Amino acid sequence: MNLILFEPAEAERPLSRSDPRAVHLLEVLRRKAGDTFDAGLVNGPKGKGTLVAIDDSRLTLQFSWGAPPPPLNPITLILGLPRPQTARKILAEATALGVQALHFVRTEKGEPNYGQSTLWSSGEWRRHLIAGAEQAFDTRLPEITFDRSFVEAVNALGPAGSRIALDNYESPQPLPQLSMRAPVVLALGPERGWAAAERELLRTQQFAFAHLGPRVLRTETAVVAAVTLAKAGLKLF
């Protein structure tokens, strides 16, 4: 954890010694009573935490907050629902890269059972967002949806500067050759790719088709590569 995040209500009460953040403070950062650490409120300001006291069951903390961080990058991802273990990686890595929204959608060639995973039903997905934000030393979490169809998600999109669909089969150009304007929407299909009707909808909705080269990438790798290239195209580095 480069930054330890707290929900606003959590910052008002002691932290249990069994909480992973307490374990990190005591065993990894080796903080003692009186020491400070980098902290943040989820979707709020960053600042400094002070470890006021330690007892057998809890840590008493005190915080001093600064200004909120800047907005997230104007990049939205539409993703065919991947395997749960892949989705966990994407949630953390896309958050660390600073995307503003991730929409995991049902697609024609996708596996519908992936949407029934406890990752989504238990709320576990939020933990991976927080891990990604902590890694990036940021407090902001992207918007997440995971209960819509591909058609619903695409039709619900607002105005976009650039809409790009990643497709290894019907793309005339590599992603870096596209001129990009904010905000950017990147669409990546499921493991089996886009169906013909989905490609037609993408074209109707003014998506340009692009690829990431001849090598076949894992979905989580393709997401990181695509977002990185989009950030470079928007000059966000």
Is residue 24 very low, low, confident or very high in pLDDT (cuts 50, 70, 90)?
A: very high
| Residue 207: DSSP 8-state | P
pLDDT over 90 (residue 160): no
φ, ψ dihedrals at 36, nearest 5° = -110, 165
Q: Tell me the H-state helices in 36-189.
A: 84-97, 118-121, 124-136, 150-155
Q: Which residues pair with 63 in a beta bridge?
A: 49
Beta strand extents in the chain (DSSP E only): 4-6, 15-16, 36-41, 46-54, 58-65, 73-80, 99-106, 143-149, 162-166, 184-188, 208-210
At residue 237, the pLDDT reads 82
**Which H or E run includes 219?**
helix 219-233
Long-range contacts of 43-47 (CB under 8 A, 24+ apart): 43/139, 43/140, 43/141, 44/8, 44/68, 44/139, 45/69, 45/139, 46/3, 46/137, 46/138, 46/139
Q: Which two tokens stand for residue 47?
A: 């600042």
Give 44-88 pLDDT, tens digit per residue: 999 999 999 999 999 999 999 998 899 999 999 999 999 999 999
CA dist 106 and 114 (Å) reads 9
φ, ψ dihedrals at 115, nearest 5° = -75, -10
The structural domains of the chain, ordered by start, are 4-65 (2.40.240.20), 73-233 (3.40.1280.10)
Q: How many residues does the chain have?
A: 237
CA dist 18 and 73 (Å) reads 35
Mean pLDDT of 131-157: 96
Angle at the Cα of 200 from the Cα atoms of 199 and 201, rounded to 5 degrees: 90
Mean pLDDT of 7-13: 94
φ, ψ dihedrals at 183, nearest 5° = -80, 155
pLDDT over 90 (residue 168): no
φ, ψ dihedrals at 130, nearest 5° = -65, -40
At residue 85, the pLDDT reads 97
SS3 192: coil
Percent of the chain surpassing pLDDT 70: 100
Q: Render the burial of 143-175: b for 16+ CB within 10 Å, e for the rest.
A: ebebebebeebbeebeebebbbbbbbeebeeeb
